[in-house]
Structure 1
Amino acid sequence: MTGTSLPGEIDVRTLDVGPYPTEPLDSYYDFQHSVRSGTALAISRLANHVVTGNDIDAELRYGTGVQKLAVPEDVKNILAEQSVPVAARNKMLFGFASGSSDFRPEPHVEVPPGSTLTTVAVMQFPDSGSAERAAAEFEETDFSVSPDLNERVQIAKYPLAHSHWRPGTPTMGSVIAHGSYVVSTFISTSQPILTDLTDLVEKVYTAQLPMLDTLAPLSAEQALRLDLDPEGIIRRVLNPDKLGVPDPGGLAAYDLRGFLHFQTDRIAAKILYADSERFVFSGAYSPTTNSYTKGVAQSFGKGTTRFLQGAILIRARDIGPAKALWSAILDAPDAKWTPPDVPDSKCAELPTNTYVKDWVCAVRYRSYIGYVWSTQLQDAQQRAAAQYALLANSQ
C-alpha cells in the first residue's frame, strides 16, 4: 500500500504541563525500604480486606471516615485512650478503620443522633497469642472506663467476642481476635434496643472475618520488605512532589474495596467503578478521620477529607470500560474549560460550600482514567495535561 505515515498519538512534548513531571516515578526516584514505608504499604494492603458498610447492611451505604493505625498511639482514635498501652504492650503492627452510616455525611457537620453508624477497625499483631491477649485487654480497658454503668453482652454466633453496652444507651462496643488479627467494632443505632445492637455486631463479624481468612498476616520483616509498586501502576500517577514515600491517602494503590473506603456514597461508587480494577492515590485524601469524639462510631461522622490538590489514577479492565467510565464521570463539564490539545479530556467546577473553588479534570489514555483537581482552573488543566503525558511516557 502507498501512502504517508502519520503519528498514532499526539506529541505530548507540545502540551502545556506547567511545572509538573511527565516521566514515570521510577525514572528519577529510587524507593528505599523503611519501617514507615512498610507500615504504610501494609495498611493499604489491609484496607482491601476491611468491610465497608454496604458489606454489612445495604442501608449503611455512606462512608463517614477512615483512620490509619500506623503506631499504637493511633488506637486512641477508635478506642478509649487507655487502650494505647494495650496496643503497645502487645506489639500492634498496623491497622485500618472505616466508618459507615445510613445518613449521608456533610463535611464538618455531625451525623444526626438518630443515624445508624458503625466503625470497624482491623489491627494486626505478631501472632494469634498476642492478638487474643490484646482483644481481651482492649475489652477490659474499655469496660473499666465506667464499670458501674457498663454491662457485658454475649454475642450468640461469636462466643469468643468480648462485648458490652451501657443499658439505655444505643451503642455497643465489641472486639474479637481472629488469628493474628483483632477486629474492633463500635455500633450506634437510633434506639437503645439490645437485640438490634447485637444483630448488627453479628453482621459485622459475619462480613469481616472471612475476608481476613484470605489475607495472610505479615511479620514485621515482611512488612518492611514490601515493594512500593510491584504492578507498575503507581509510577504512572501524577506526582507533583516527585516523592515515592507511600501513605494510605497520599501515595497508595487499592483494589475496588479499598478505594470505596474513601468514597461518600459507596454503593453509587461501586456501580460506577465496577469495571475498574486498580486505583492509585497521589496526595488525594487524608487517611485520618475528622474526629470530634474520640474512640466511638460518632467520631467517624463527617466523611473523608479530600485534599485541595491531588490526583487519582484508575486502571479499567480494558479500553472499552475505560471509555465508558470517562463518559460517565464529571456531571457538568464545559467545553471552554477543556485542557488545550489534550485528547479525551474534560474539566468541571464542582459545587462547594467553602470560598475555595474546586476544579476537577479527567483524562483518558487507553485503559487509564486520570482525575486531577486544583483550586485554579489553569492549574487543573496543566495537571491534566501532565497526567496524560505521563501515561503516554509510561509505556
Structure 2
Amino acid sequence: MLAGVVAACGTGDPAAGATDVPVDLTTLDVGAYATQPRQVGTVANHDQARFIEAERLGDHVPTPADIDPRFIHTNSSIATVFIDAEASLGKIMAVDRFGEIAPDFIGGFVSSAETAGHNKGIDMVNAVMIFPDEQKAAAAATALERLDFGYAPNNQPIEIPGYPAAKAHWQPDQQSIGSWFATGHLVIYTWFYDYLKIYLEKVDKQALLDLTRKSLDTIVPSVAKFTPTPVDQLMTLQRDRENMLGRTAPRPREDSWINPPGVYAGRTARHFSSDPESTTKMIDDNGVDLFANDGSDVYRARDIAGARAVRDELGGLTRKFTAADPPKNLPSARCKEYIGREKLAVRFYCAVSYDRYAAYVWSNQLLDAQQRISAQYALLVNAR
C-alpha cells in the first residue's frame, strides 16, 4: 500500500532548530523490523532490470495535472510502474495479445487521474512504454492500435492535430479516444474517457482531440529527456540512488506490491499520491529532491527544517484523520488514524524525520505502525 493513498495536508510548523534531539535507539520498540541500512547493488535478473528502467523513465513523465490542472483525482489501485501490460492497461486497452505483437517491450510508466472522483468526470491515462529502438517502437504503436481497434465494431480512425503519425481511434457515439504515438524508443498511449458526457449521451469530438493534443504537447518534449539504457546493458543498472533505498524500510511480505521498490526524483512522488496538489507544494516548499518507496516512503529535503516540515505535512490531521499516539520514546513522530469512508484504506499512519530525511509508514494496527516508524527512525540514524 503506497502511503500516498490517503496522504493528508499537515498543519504544523517545522521546528526551527538546526539539529535533531538525540534519541536512545535502544529504548525504541522496533518489533522484528530492520534498523540497519541495506546495501542495494545492481539488478539481480532481467525483470528487475526492466522495472528499474521503467522507474528511470518515470522521472520524465508529466503528471495529468501538469497537462491540465483539472486532473487531480488519482487512483492508487493502478500499477504505475509495469512490465506486465495487464497490470496497468488491461481495463482500458486490448492486451490479450500484447506479448505477441509487442514482444520487445521493456517496461512502462503510467500517469493517470480524473477531473472528479468516483468516475464522475474525465479519465486521463498516459502510458509511456520503452522499446529497444525506434523501429520496434513504431511497429508496436501500429500493432497495438490495430489490436485495440478491432474490439469495438463502431471504432473509427481519427487523426490527432499536430501528430499525423499517431495511430488513433474513437467511437462516434461515446466521449472516448485512444491514441498510440511512437517517439524515439518510446510509445505513448493516451486515453480519455468522459464518464459524465457518456452518461448524458453527449459527444464532443473536438474536445477529445484538443485534450489528446494537449497531452502529447506536454509529454513528448518531457520524455525526450529520457536516455534509454542499451538492451545489452540493462543488467548493469543500479537499483539504488544515493543510498535512498538503503535508508528505506524493506517491504514486508504481507504488504501490497502494486509497484516495485524504487527511487525517483522528488517531484515524481506526485504520481504516487492521492493528493498531488498538496504533495507538489510540500516537495517544492521543502526542496525535496529524492523520493524512495518500499516498506515506507522516504523523502530527502534540502535541510533539517525541510525534513521536519515534510514530516508534519505527512503526519498532519484533516477531517479524515484523528491523532494517534506516537511510539514510546519517540515523541517527535506524528501518528494518525484514518476515519474517512474509503473501505480499503489503511487505518494507521506515522511520520518521522531525521537530518534531511522524512519517512512515512502505514499499518492496520497502531502498535505495528509505531514499531515500523521506530525502526525506520533507527534506520535513518544508522545510515548517517
Q: CA RMSD in A?
A: 2.5
Aligned AA (2:223): L
Pairs within 5 Å for 1:1-395: 9-26=22-39, 33-65=44-76, 66-67=78-79, 68-71=81-84, 76-85=90-99, 87-89=101-103, 91-105=104-118, 111-112=119-120, 115-146=121-152, 148-189=153-194, 190=197, 191-239=202-250, 241=252, 249-274=259-284, 275=286, 276-283=288-295, 311-332=296-317, 337-353=325-341, 354=343, 358-395=347-384
Kept after mapping to 1: 8 A contact 2:41/2:239: no
Provide the secondary structure at the position in 2 that maps to 1:202: helix
Number of matched residues?
347
Kept after mapping to 1: 8 A contact 2:141/2:167: yes
CA separation of 1:367 and 1:80: change in aligned 2, threshold 3 A = same
Provide the secondary structure at the position in 2 that maps to 1:259: helix
Between 1 and 2, higher relative CO (CA 8 Å, sep ≥ 6) is seen in 2
Calculate the TM-score normalised by the size of structure 2: 0.83
Separation in structure 2 between the aligned mates of residue 279 and residue 355 of structure 1, nearest angstrom: 25
Deviation at residue 172 of structure 1 after TM alignment: 0.7
Deviation at residue 221 of structure 1 after TM alignment: 2.6
Aligned AA (2:114): S
Separation in structure 2 between the aligned mates of residue 136 and residue 13 of structure 1, nearest angstrom: 60
Deviation at residue 169 of structure 1 after TM alignment: 0.9
Separation in structure 1 between the aligned mates of residue 70 and residue 344 of structure 2, nearest angstrom: 33
Separation in structure 1 between the aligned mates of residue 134 and residue 69 of structure 2, nearest angstrom: 32
Deviation at residue 122 of structure 1 after TM alignment: 0.6
Where does residue 13 of structure 2 map in the other structure? none
Provide the secondary structure at the position in 2 that maps to 1:361: strand
Provide the secondary structure at the position in 2 that maps to 1:174: strand
Kept after mapping to 2: 8 A contact 1:72/1:88: no
Per-residue displacement from partner, 1:325-368 (whole Å, max 9, x unpaired)?
22333233878712111252121112244398611111110111
Separation in structure 1 between the aligned mates of residue 251 and residue 192 of structure 2, nearest angstrom: 40
Aligned AA (1:140): R
CA separation of 1:54 and 1:32: change in aligned 2, threshold 3 A = closer
Separation in structure 1 between the aligned mates of residue 356 and residue 375 of structure 2, nearest angstrom: 17
Kept after mapping to 2: 8 A contact 1:346/1:363: yes
Per-residue displacement from partner, 1:186-223 (whole Å, max 9, x unpaired)?
11133421100000000110111011110011222332
Deviation at residue 239 of structure 1 after TM alignment: 1.9
Per-residue displacement from partner, 1:231-261 (whole Å, max 9, x unpaired)?
111111122659xxxx772421122342111
Separation in structure 2 between the aligned mates of residue 356 and residue 210 of structure 1, nearest angstrom: 36
Deviation at residue 262 of structure 1 after TM alignment: 1.6
Provide the secondary structure at the position in 2 that maps to 1:119: strand
Per-residue displacement from partner, 1:363-393 (whole Å, max 9, x unpaired)?
1101111111211111111111111111111
Kept after mapping to 1: 8 A contact 2:141/2:187: yes
Separation in structure 2 between the aligned mates of residue 174 and residue 376 of structure 1, nearest angstrom: 44
Per-residue displacement from partner, 1:147-204 (whole Å, max 9, x unpaired)?
x512221122111111111112100111110011000111113342110000000011
Q: Percent identity?
A: 30
